[in-house]
Amino acid sequence: MFFHCRLASTLKTPLLPNGSRQIEIFFGLALQASGRCNFVMDTEFYRQALQSAVGGRRWILFGLPLAPLVPQARLLKKLGAEAVFLVGSGPGTGDPPDPDEFPHYALDASGSDIIAGFRRYEAGLRQPPRALREALDRFDPDHTALCLAEFTLAPIYGIAGRRRFGAAPAPWTDLEDKVRVDALWQAAAIPRAPSVLVPMDGAAWQASWKGLDRGHGLVAAADARDGLHGGGVGVRWMQQPDQIPATVEALSPRSDRVRLMPFLEGLPCSIHGFVLADGIAVFRPVEMVILRRPEKAEFFYGGMATFWDPPESGAEAMRRTARRVGETLARRYAYRGCFTIDGVLSPEGFFPTELNARVGAALPLLEMEDPAVKLSFLSALVVEVNQAMHPQALENLVLQHSREHRAGRGGSVLPFKVQEEKRVELVYELDLYREALEDEVVQANMALGPNDSGAFLSFAPDPASLSIGPPFAPRVVAAFAAADRLWGTGIGKLEAAPNPFAD
């Protein structure tokens, strides 16, 4: 038996530069006769919280290439931002911003790989070139604009004298170091695979092999000596001990130590959580498209999706892990905001492999189009404002939306340059993608465009063309094979992880 009541809540934002504001918002509360509460809240509470922070201000948005920053800037405008300046990691693939709508500047993000390129970009944020400083002074002559990041790896506390809104303190960022994370898993009392930390000494790796190998080899993850890394950079899979010398040679230039753990057969996936002052929100599992190069024993990062439905027991194991980790982050580090746990789901359970103490790359797949529940904005807000934000209500909103609106994309930076963007419309038949004929219903779009660290290949399927339940990774394999055939991208043979839950 339920009844509904109206309850007023006051949100105070004393840390905002313009002083404290108060917003009185009514939200619905469903109360079971048993005494257990279940929030049934619409988005208005979060909309007004964000509008209070965003409205009437100038913002400097950064952390992505210019093209994908544009839709995020439009969300800020919908929340009442006076004006938005974009500082991109290169131009990106897609339509460039209109300078009359969003003044902008593209920093150099070139590098030997995507992480090296992003580090160059972050160096430019910390020490902006004169042209960027002058452009920002024209946009914000009184230096009152706030900076907001979509994504960073290193701690960035502001740009050219303008403070970053919702900047994470360094101890939170340090949690991402892959050689430190096992201490967090232990503190949270969650199941995990065995691992050892070893120096860059092949003899130590050899001595660890027999005790860790479960029949599929070992995975080496580099430390964060030169900065955090992701997207498969700094991680190597060794199928046999004779691959140790080459792996030591590959990782030594970037690290002093590695974490060795067994290669885990199962489906790569992640789970997002959100630590708030009044509790933890946990969202649905997301498939991570981590493909394999069988001839090279390498991983190939290929995208992410929510079309996959894990077994109910697996989903609950992942959500339970995220909740325990979120509680531990809050208790031990006073953590606030989004976090992501990457790992592998197998019939034996969910085994975490790394923590992203920030907004994860897959989080936008869970978000509504409504800017009121823009999770990266909310994540920055709760770092600034230590006030009740009703985690159960937020969890329910995101879970319902992500269950009803599935999404996914493929993408990878390739090691060559292109000058112009190419696009193709695709249809799927006989386990292959091919170019769509003029009268056929388009099932996916694929593009290859310039990127500061190479060329960026993107794959965007029509969600209606995909079944809910099976993994998305085989579709990405088929799409990238089509890119090889159509454009000669030279990706080569890729394999998706076998689905251990297939009927």
Residue 314 phi/psi, 5-degree rounding, is: -70, -40
298: which DSSP letter? E
> What is the pLDDT at residue 41?
57
Domains of the chain, residue spans:
1-164, 196-263, 408-487
> How far is it, in rounded angstroms, from Cα 68 to Cα 82?
20
> How far is it, in rounded angstroms, from Cα 449 to Cα 455?
6
214: which DSSP letter? -
* Cβ atoms of residues 118 and 109 within 8 Å: yes
Residue 27 forms beta bridges with which residues? 7
Residue 358 has pLDDT above 60, yes or no: yes
Q: What is the dihedral of CA 294, 265, 481, 489, to 10 degrees?
A: -60
Residue 40 has pLDDT above 70, yes or no: no
> In the structure encoding, which two tokens stand for residue 9, read together?
């809540």
Burial code (b: 16+ CB inside 10 Å, e: under 16) for 358-379 equals: bbbbbbbbbbbeebbbbbbbbb
**Residue 29 identity:** L
For tokens 């991208």, the residue is: 489
List the strands of the sheet with 58-62, edge to edge.
Answer: 104-106, 83-88, 58-62, 146-149
287: enclosing H helix or E strand: strand 279-293
Of 199-203, 252-256, 262-266, where does mean pLDDT reach its minimum? 252-256
Residue 449 forms beta bridges with which residues? 456
Give how far the C-alpha of residue 394 lies from the chain's centroid of Cα atoms, to the nearest Å: 19
What's the average model confidence in pLDDT over 333-344?
Answer: 97
> What is the pLDDT at residue 157?
96
**Residue 322 identity:** A
Residues near 433 by beta carbon (within 8 Å), at least 6 away in sequence: 426, 427, 444, 446, 475, 478, 479, 481, 482
410: enclosing H helix or E strand: strand 408-414
Q: How many CB atoms lie within 10 A of CB 309?
A: 18
User: Bigger pLDDT: 93 or 78?
Assistant: 78
CB-side neighbour CA atoms (13 Å) of 472: 30
* Cβ atoms of residues 195 and 260 within 8 Å: yes
Burial code (b: 16+ CB inside 10 Å, e: under 16) for 199-223 equals: ebebebbeebbeebbeeebbbbbbb
Judged on CB neighbours under 10 Å (0-12, 13-18, 19+), 241 is middle
The pLDDT confidence band at residue 21, using thresholds 50, 70 and 90, is very low
Q: Which CATH superfamily is domain 196-263 in?
A: ATP-grasp fold, A domain (3.30.1490.20)
Residue 24 forms beta bridges with which residues? 10
* Cβ atoms of residues 239 and 217 within 8 Å: yes
> How far is it, in rounded angstroms, from Cα 416 to Cα 422?
14
Judged on CB neighbours under 10 Å (0-12, 13-18, 19+), 488 is exposed
> What is the pLDDT at residue 396?
95
Cα 340 to Cα 112, 355, 498, distances in angstroms: 26, 6, 23
For tokens 């708030």, the residue is: 276
The pLDDT confidence band at residue 225, using thresholds 50, 70 and 90, is confident
- pLDDT digits 0-9 by tens, 105-139: 999 998 887 888 889 999 999 999 999 999 999 99
The pLDDT confidence band at residue 374, using thresholds 50, 70 and 90, is very high
> What is the pLDDT at residue 14?
35
For tokens 């509460």, the residue is: 37
> What is the pLDDT at residue 59?
99
Radius of gyration (C-alpha) of the chain in whole angstroms: 23
- pLDDT digits 0-9 by tens, 142-185: 999 999 999 888 889 999 999 999 999 989 988 998 889 999 99
Angle, in degrees to the nearest 10, between helices 375-384 and 66-78: 70
What's the average model confidence in pLDDT over 390-406?
Answer: 95
What's the average model confidence in pLDDT over 2-20?
Answer: 32
Residue 326 has pLDDT above 90, yes or no: yes
Helix or strand or coil: residue 468?
coil
